[in-house]
Amino acid sequence: MTEAKLEAWLEETRSFPPSAAFAKQANAQPSIYAEADADSVAWWRTQADRLVWHKEPTKTLEWDIPFAKWFSDGELNASVNCVDRHVDAGKGDKVAFHWVADAEGESRTITYADLQKLVAQASHALTELGVKKGDRVAVYMPMIPEAVVAMLAIVRLGAVHSVVFGGFSADALSSRILDSDCQFVVTADGAFRRGTAAPLKPAVDEALKSCPNVKAVLVVKRTGGDVEWTQGRDHWWHEIVAKQKTEHTPEYFPAEHTMFIMYTSGTTAKPKGIFHTTAGYLTQVATTHYYIFDVKAETDVCWTAADIGWITGHSYIVYGPLINGVTQIMYEGLPDSGGKDRWWKIIEQYKATILYTAPTTIRTLMKWGEEFPKSHDLSSLRLLGTVGEPINPEAWIWYRENIGAGKCPIVDTWWQTETGAIMATPLPGITATKPGAAMRAFPGISIDVVDNEGNSVGDGEGGYLVITKPWPSMTRGIYGDPERFKETYWSRFAGKYFAGDGAKRDDDGDIWLLGRVDDVMNISGHRLSTTEVEHALVGHPSVAEAAVVGASDDLTGQAIVAFVTLKLSADEQMKDQAPIIEELRVHVSKVISPIARPRQIILTPELPKTRSGKIMRRLLRDVAENRQLGDVTTLMDPTVVNMISGLMGSDDSE
Ligand code: WTA
């Protein structure tokens, strides 16, 4: 569709009716909403029957705002639910993962029976290293099967995993290890990216200099590069895991046993350790995966193109799909490892039926051109999903037409690390879809859009997204900080969960997500707080002050723009800026991650401040996006913003 055609179409129809072909065979039938609404708690109890219980729960929900317990007297084992149950049901030969390496031609096929053996061996190895129920284990891994095996083995023992995205720096890793006092780390020597080996173990060694409580490090050999070795602490996976027995008798844990921690950026410099417990989380990831992706365990080949270092990987590569017993593709590399058509080759080769990814990736693939998908047979695809940030209609339509052949329903799924599983989405075969809209709450979930006072807005109006009833996979809090949990999510609107996202209801009452309303940025679908980046910048010896904003970016959704005042006289600042700007960019990448590398750094002798000394980020956002400046009357020195606007032209953005 040309841009003009797209605009005309958006103007006229703006929606695709639910696919009739889907309606006939879909897992979800139209009555699902009414059934769930009639008694959402009871409805979730029936969904919990998707799990294999060691002891069936008799309780469903205990709700003491904002602390929920779901199915609390039940007992189960998460790893049994993902693996053993399928082998017990005679499906051991079914492929769990087609693992595809960064390098073309390298792959592994892992059946559910293989997975059971690997998890059993890893469980024994972790036990031998001293891991016990309740212990926290950091996982810092590339996208290799051992990452999934490690997660499943950790929860099998009743220990708690804290997966840290492999792109994070040593500093980011050590602060996460320290915050939840992890005593064990599972990692790899390195990772492959576009054929090049990138080391991981050195970051662990660096991080552990400040983590004296870490007793053991389990290292997968992936790249075969040289690694430093700390005797007594470091253990090779292939030495200690491979020798273990391939059967493991599980223990069972209470439904509310803590299962994992996932750090995510909040509005302060310190990431929050969002933790999830077992049965509620597993129930909702399995249920949402079943209905939203309409999975048929016998025939589907699901590909969630995300990293296990983020919640999407946890919920829709590891737990949801494995509980549902589907076959998946797990891919190690980048979208252009081996060529710009690599994804489409993989889909063609493995006959993927369901693809789930982020808008930022869709925009990148779109930029490369439609000749790449066109040169492959993508006809196996029957459903497409998107997650992580608002999707622009152009990318949505491109995805539908070029990848989904105009026939695959697109599910635009809104959720968060904190919600654990999808909360708002269309349902294939039932809900119409509109490019850019998450449409409606999932059955059994209560979502509202409210104004500043917390009152529901009418159709056609915008406001804040809130969740008005507890849901099974809701986070049980911020690790070690219940007060911050209450304050962050439950204090803005009494009795309601405040997600931090702006939203609107359109004239039909359908929900559109409009982006964050707080100081959280969304860079290529990754959450980063402005404060976190500011904190990193002022940690550099030359920086006096820094203010960071997220500015719109065609490719990455938002990009980081930093306004920095150096500890030098204004004159000196204006000399050759390029070296210090580059140094600051590298510094931020090192302290946080390359994801946090600012697109633009503007050196300025002053930052715009209110008379009370607060930096006016709102104005900097206007400057960064070349917008008409908002109200400047409260500024201490209104000329400062004009000066900064003038500097914008002279920067060297990437
Ligand atoms: C944003 C990712 C618009 C939102 C699963 C949310 C979205 C944050 C969508 C959570 C969507 C996620 N449309 N925005 N479909 N999905 N977001 O914790 O701002 O990494 O608050 O979880 O991503 O990011 P997180």
Give 312: exposed, middle or buried? Use CB within 10 Å, 0-12, 13-18, 19+: buried
Is the pLDDT score of 630 beyond 90? Answer: no
**603 and 491 part of one domain:** no
**589 and 481 part of one domain:** no
Residues 69, 629: Cα–Cα separation, whole Å: 47
The whole-number average pLDDT for the span 161-178 is 96
Q: How many CB atoms lie within 10 A of CB 575?
A: 9
Residue 6 confidence (pLDDT): 72
| Cβ atoms of 520 and 527 closer than 8 Å | yes
Q: Candidates 292, 513, 520, 593: which one to mutate for ligand 1, based on the most atoms within 8 Å of Cβ?
A: 513
- Between strands 258-264 and 160-163, the pairing is parallel
Give 52: exposed, middle or buried? Use CB within 10 Å, 0-12, 13-18, 19+: middle
Distance 388 CA to ligand 1 centre (A): 4
DSSP letter (8 states) at residue 489: I
Average pLDDT, the chain: 93
Residue 116 confidence (pLDDT): 98
Is the pLDDT score of 563 beyond 60? Answer: yes
Helix runs in 592-624, H state only: 617-624
Residue in the block written with tokens 């369901």: 354
| Per-residue pLDDT tens over the stretch 33-84 | 999 999 999 999 999 999 999 999 999 999 999 999 999 999 999 999 999 9
Nearest to 435 by CA among 72, 14, 41: 14
The residue from 515, 539, 561 where one domain ends is 515
Could you give the count of Cα atoms lying within 13 Å of 250 in the half-sphere of its Cβ? Answer: 27
Is the pLDDT score of 119 beyond 90? Answer: yes
**529 and 616 part of one domain:** yes
Q: What's the token pair of residue 303?
A: 């590909």
Closest C-alpha residue for ligand 1 atom 25: 416
Distance 466 CA to ligand 1 centre (A): 14
* Length, in residues, of the chain: 654
**468 and 496 part of one domain:** yes
Residue in the block written with tokens 């660096």: 206
**611 and 532 part of one domain:** yes
Distance 501 CA to ligand 1 centre (A): 8
The answer to whether position 362 is within a domain reads no
The answer to whether position 511 is within a domain reads yes
Q: How far is CA 479 from the centre of its chain?
A: 18
Q: Candidates 391, 416, 434, 521: which one to mutate for ligand 1, based on the most atoms within 8 Å of Cβ?
A: 416
**528 and 646 part of one domain:** yes
| Per-residue pLDDT tens over the stretch 277-310 | 999 999 999 999 999 999 999 999 999 999 999 9
Distance 309 CA to ligand 1 centre (A): 15
The answer to whether position 250 is within a domain reads no
Distance 292 CA to ligand 1 centre (A): 17
Is the pLDDT score of 537 beyond 60? Answer: yes
Is the pLDDT score of 570 beyond 70? Answer: no
Distance 36 CA to ligand 1 centre (A): 24
Distance 354 CA to ligand 1 centre (A): 20
Distance 390 CA to ligand 1 centre (A): 8
DSSP calls for 283-295: HHHHHHHHHHTT-
Closest C-alpha residue for ligand 1 atom 5: 416
Residue 575 confidence (pLDDT): 73
DSSP calls for 202-228: HHHHHHHTT-TT--EEEEE-SS-----
The residue from 459, 488, 515 where one domain ends is 515
Q: Rounded to 5 degrees, what are φ and ψ at 557?
A: 80, -70
Is the pLDDT score of 531 beyond 70? Answer: yes
Q: How far is CA 574 from the centre of its chain?
A: 40
Q: In Å, how far are 542, 551, 585, 620, 638 from 648, measured between CA atoms?
A: 21, 13, 17, 11, 17
Contacts of 127 (CB under 8 A, 6+ apart): 157
Atom of ligand 1 nearest to the CA of 310: 20
**625 and 528 part of one domain:** yes
Nearest to 319 by CA among 260, 371, 252: 260
The answer to whether position 528 is within a domain reads yes
Distance 474 CA to ligand 1 centre (A): 15
Q: Candidates 164, 414, 418: which one to mutate for ligand 1, based on the most atoms within 8 Å of Cβ?
A: 414
| Cβ atoms of 634 and 594 closer than 8 Å | no
| Per-residue pLDDT tens over the stretch 416-439 | 999 999 999 999 999 999 999 999
Q: pLDDT band for position 110 (50/70/90)?
A: very high
Is the pLDDT score of 443 beyond 60? Answer: yes
The answer to whether position 67 is within a domain reads no
Distance 483 CA to ligand 1 centre (A): 24
Around ligand 1, the residues with Cβ closer than 6 Å are: 264, 310-312, 387-390, 412-417, 438, 499-501, 513, 516, 522, 527
DSSP calls for 392-455: PHHHHHHIIIIISTTTS-EEEEB--TTT-S--B---TTTS-B-TT--BSBPTT--EEEE-TTSP
Distance 389 CA to ligand 1 centre (A): 5
| Per-residue pLDDT tens over the stretch 346-384 | 999 999 999 999 999 999 999 999 999 999 999 999 999
Closest C-alpha residue for ligand 1 atom 15: 414
DSSP calls for 338-395: TSTTHHHHHHHHHT--EEEE-HHHHHHHHHH-THHHHTS--TT--EEEEESSPPPHHH
Identity at 168, one-letter amino acid code: F
CATH number where 557 lies: 3.30.300.30
Prediction pTM value: 0.92
Residues 295, 293: Cα–Cα separation, whole Å: 5
Residue 614 confidence (pLDDT): 77
**623 and 545 part of one domain:** yes
The answer to whether position 464 is within a domain reads yes
Q: pLDDT band for position 248 (50/70/90)?
A: very high
The answer to whether position 531 is within a domain reads yes
Contacts of 352 (CB under 8 A, 6+ apart): 301, 302, 303, 329, 346, 380, 381
Q: pLDDT band for position 471 (50/70/90)?
A: very high
The whole-number average pLDDT for the span 574-594 is 90
Percent over 90 (pLDDT), the chain: 82
DSSP calls for 2-29: -HHHHHHHHHHT--BPPPHHHHHH-SS-
Overall domain count for the chain: 2
Handedness of CA 414, 490, 272, 539 (dihedral sign): positive
Query: Cis omega before residue 66 (within 30°)?
Result: yes
Distance 391 CA to ligand 1 centre (A): 11
Q: What's the token pair of residue 163?
A: 């997966």
Q: pLDDT band for position 255 (50/70/90)?
A: very high
**549 and 595 part of one domain:** yes
**502 and 530 part of one domain:** no
**509 and 551 part of one domain:** no
Atom of ligand 1 nearest to the CA of 438: 15
Q: What's the token pair of residue 76?
A: 């189960």
| Cβ atoms of 306 and 317 closer than 8 Å | yes
Atom of ligand 1 nearest to the CA of 515: 19
Alpha-carbon dihedral of residues 344, 349, 350, 351, nearest 10 degrees? 70
The answer to whether position 476 is within a domain reads yes
Handedness of CA 176, 178, 182, 187 (dihedral sign): positive
Is the pLDDT score of 653 beyond 60? Answer: no
Q: Candidates 274, 386, 411, 522: which one to mutate for ligand 1, based on the most atoms within 8 Å of Cβ?
A: 522
**622 and 640 part of one domain:** yes
Q: pLDDT band for position 576 (50/70/90)?
A: confident
Identity at 94, one-letter amino acid code: K
Q: Candidates 284, 527, 529: which one to mutate for ligand 1, based on the most atoms within 8 Å of Cβ?
A: 527
Q: Candidates 362, 396, 415: which one to mutate for ligand 1, based on the most atoms within 8 Å of Cβ?
A: 415
Closest C-alpha residue for ligand 1 atom 4: 389
Distance 422 CA to ligand 1 centre (A): 10
Task: Give me the domain span that covers residue 508.
Answer: 446-515
CATH number where 481 lies: 2.30.38.10
Q: pLDDT band for position 582 (50/70/90)?
A: very high
Q: pLDDT band for position 615 (50/70/90)?
A: confident
The residue from 469, 493, 515 where one domain ends is 515
| Cβ atoms of 421 and 429 closer than 8 Å | no
